[in-house]
Amino acid sequence: MANKVMARSDGTIGAIPQDDILVFSIATATQAVDSIVWQAPYPCKLVRVSVVFQTASSSGTLNVEKCPVGTAAGSGTDMLSSTISLAGTAAVTVNGTLTTTQSTLKLAATDRLALDFGGTVTNLANCFITIHLRRLLTAGADR
């Protein structure tokens, strides 16, 4: 059987990278604490973060952090250029703005993702955080 070559959407030829989608549920404000939520088993890149909630917080915010082994949640490198407000309109999906520093968006195998909450998260309820990651073909690849 011959090897199959596939064209990617960017016009290059090669294997199609796989995307992984992680979804985290924060049922009540007491669960909105800084925490490590995932450890990369392979090199990957953050491609999107979105949040939707049923009940807004008072003035809460969220950032996603890259935490190498030994770095605590809340002390990692911010992967968004600004925080996502958790105090906006309920039932409306809000997309985070990724940092433009490409090296910050890349995770090596064993790097971890953390959720970093700020402000006052009082009243936050039924919050869903969706994180899209793209597996990298090699440790330094952009796709």
Q: CA 22, 12, 139, 128: dihedral to nearest 10 degrees?
A: -10
Q: Are 115 and 127 in contact (CB under 8 A)?
A: no
Nearest to 86 by CA among 37, 110, 50, 112: 50
Q: Which two tokens stand for residue 28?
A: 């009540």
Query: Residue 128: its pLDDT value, please?
Result: 97
pTM of the model: 0.84
Q: Is the dihedral of CA 57, 61, 62, 68 positive or negative?
A: negative
Query: Residue 9: its pLDDT value, please?
Result: 52
**Between vectors from CA 54 to CA 48 and to CA 59, what angle results, nearest 5°?**
75
Count CB atoms within 10 A of the CB of residue 46: 21
Integer Cα distance of 123 and 59 in angstroms? 10
Query: Residue 43: its pLDDT value, please?
Result: 95
Per-residue pLDDT of the chain (143 residues; tens, 9 = 90+): 343 444 445 555 555 567 899 999 999 999 999 999 999 999 999 999 999 999 999 999 999 999 999 999 999 999 999 999 999 999 999 999 999 999 999 999 999 999 999 999 999 999 999 999 999 976 455 55
Residue 143 Cα distances to 21, 41, 79, 82, 107, angstroms: 16, 17, 17, 24, 13
